[in-house]
Chains A and B, each alone.
Chain A
Amino acid sequence: ENVLTQSPDTLSLSPGERATLSCRASQSINSRFLAWYQQKPGQAPRLLIYGTSSRATGIPDRFSGSGSGTDFTLTITRLEPEDFAVYYCQQYGSSPLTFGPGTKVDIK
Chain B
Amino acid sequence: QITLKESGPTLVKPTQTLTLTCTFSGFSLSTSGVAVGWIRQPPGKALEWLALIYWNDDERYSPSLESRLTITKDTSKNQVVLTMTNMDPVDTGTYYCAHSLDFWSGYDRYYYGLDVWGQGTTVTVSS
How many residues from A make CB contacts under 8 Å with B?
Answer: 26
A56 within 8 A of B: yes
Taken together as a complex, chains A and B put the C-alpha atoms of A19 and B77 apart, in Å, by: 43
Taken together as a complex, chains A and B put the C-alpha atoms of A90 and B109 apart, in Å, by: 17
Task: Please report the number of residue pairs spanning A and B whose Cβ atoms sit closer than 8 angstroms.
Answer: 66
A18 within 8 A of B: no
Picked from A56, A57, A92, A100, the residue with its CB within 8 Å of the CB of B46 is A100
- 22 A-B interface contacts by CB (under 8 A): A32-B110, A35-B113, A39-B47, A44-B118, A44-B119, A45-B47, A45-B114, A46-B117, A47-B117, A50-B115, A51-B112, A57-B115, A90-B47, A90-B113, A92-B111, A95-B60, A96-B49, A96-B60, A98-B49, A99-B39, A99-B47, A100-B46
Min CB–CB distance A97 → chain B (angstroms): 4
A82 within 8 A of B: no
